[in-house]
Structure 1
Amino acid sequence: MEMVEKALHIASKAHEGQYRKLTEIPYITHPVAVGMLLMKAGYPDNVVAAGILHDTVEDTSLTLEDIKLNFGEKTAEIVAGCSEPDKSLSWEKRKEHTIEFLKTASKEIRAVACADKLHNIRSIRNDYEQVGEEVWKRFKRGKEKQKWYYTNVVESLGAQGTFALLEELRNEVELLFH
């Protein structure tokens, strides 16, 4: 089975029964959209597969070892780089770690993280257009903390130079928060 198709199959099974935050939208739509953004931007199959699998280790029973066995070391490294290392920490500590880590992460990890955030921010913006300020009630930390996080992620992702997906993310963050 081709790598991207295999990633779609495994991620679909792993995320079965999960939904996007406070919606009836099946969760799998998010990793598929992330993979599509990466594919459209011209990234190789292992990066696209990592984008599709980026939330599996964090949110399902799949392990990094499972990903390494099915997709190889490089794809597993990218997924590991896009996963929060310690879910027991506070939201602020986890987000601070992500912001710092992305400054020096590999270009593949930065691409997947960027595509992930780009799809998230577009989803938030779409929901904002539907329900207005109510959208921020979905987030325990509210609008100002989301603005802080996304603004800092954009800066961290650009620490090693800019790329097309980052410019799209920067524009979306600007549209939503300014």
Structure 2
Amino acid sequence: MEDQRPQSDSKQPLPFSPLVEQAIELSAQWHDRTYRKSRWRDEPFEVPDDEYLKVPVVSHVTSVAMIVQRAGWDDETVAAAFLHDVIEDENRWEARFRYENLSDLMGASVAELVREVSEEKLDASGRNRPWRDRKIGYIERLRNASDGAVAISVADKLHNLWTINKSLKNGVDVFSRGRMRKALQGDPDQQRWFFNEIHSIAEQRDDPRLNAMRSRLKEEMTRFDVLTGK
């Protein structure tokens, strides 16, 4: 039977990639009606009084994938960036995407990149693991991950931290609950520790495509220190 999975155009970049297109579709389907913890921009248009515009998760994964693509990474890495949260995060029906299913749909290379940047949020009994334990496990996995996985991780943390900084600058206290807002689990010092660890791992890699990403993350780390009074 013919393999129906899309093939990567990474060896000869073309204007259109079926692999990336399928990753976009799958990511949008999985994250449908799931949202980011908070919003810092004003509402761009009027909504009914009893409604509130939230930020779709797909806007985050798209931003991460665009950072990866603009840095010059191949189609498989860009596809994995679009999918980087599908194993880690539940969908709106509280289901979890299995690695084996992702590999069948997108190929082993893309699935492995996603696995390398996925936190293990649940323990053996199915209960949520503590925030710091999850982050320690993530850091240890990333130390041994591929350069492509490190690129996705840096892009992910860059967009997360940029969003945190924009929120803080606009008076949104992301560390406390508010109207239609979930608080970040890690306090400023814990967040600082985590971002420093990711940056340190990226500094140990020689791939030149990481240089600009790493520098931009460092800029946001410095901005975070100022905004949190460090």
Deviations 1:46-73 (A, max 9, x none): 1000000000011133221222112111
Equivalent pair of 1:84/1:98 in contact (CA under 8 Å): yes
Structure 2 unaligned regions, length at least 5: 1-5, 7-17, 40-53, 91-95, 124-128, 177-182
Normalising by structure 1, what TM-score?
A: 0.92
- Structure (1 or 2) with the larger CA radius of gyration: 2
Counterpart check, 1:121 vs 2:161: yes
Secondary structure of the corresponding residue to residue 223 of structure 2: helix
Q: Choose from 105, 120, 130 the match for 1:85.
A: 120
Cα pair 2:117 2:152 within 8 Å, conserved: yes
Distance across 1 between alignment mates of 2:212 and 2:106: 26
Give the counterpart letter for 1:119 in structure 2.
H
What RMSD over aligned residues (CA atoms) do the two structures have, in Å? 1.6
1:50 aligns with 2:80: yes
2:117 aligned partner, one-letter code: C
Report the equivalent of 1:66.
Answer: 101
- TM-score, normalization by structure 2: 0.72
Shift of 1:160: 2.8
Which residue is equivalent to 1:163? 211
Q: CA deviation at 1:164?
A: 2.2
- String of CA shifts for 1:16-37, please: whole Å, max 9, x gaps: 1100014411111011111111
Q: Is the 8 A contact 1:51 1:79 kept in 2?
A: yes
Offset of residue 87 of structure 1: 2.6
Assess if the C-alpha contact under 8 Å between 2:157 and 2:217 holds in 1: yes
Secondary structure in 1 aligned to 2:141? helix
- Structure having the higher helix fraction is 1
Match of 1:145 among 169, 181, 190: 190
**Is the 8 Å Cα contact of residues 103 and 158 (structure 1) preserved in structure 2?**
no
| Identity level (%) | 29
1:18 aligns with 2:34: yes
**Partners of 2:156 and 2:167 in 1: CA distance:** 17
Runs of 4+ residues over 6 Å off in structure 1: none
Amino acid at match of 2:80: A
1:30 paired with 2:71, answer no
d(CA) in 1 for partners of 2:194, 2:108: 29
Structure 1 contact 57–83 (Cα < 8 Å) conserved: yes
Q: How far, CA to CA, are the matches of 2:104 and 2:76 in structure 1?
A: 13
Q: Return the alpha-carbon distance in structure 2 between the equivalents of residues 141 and 119 of structure 1.
A: 17
1:97 deviation in Å? 1.7
**Match for 1:97 among 111, 130, 137?**
137
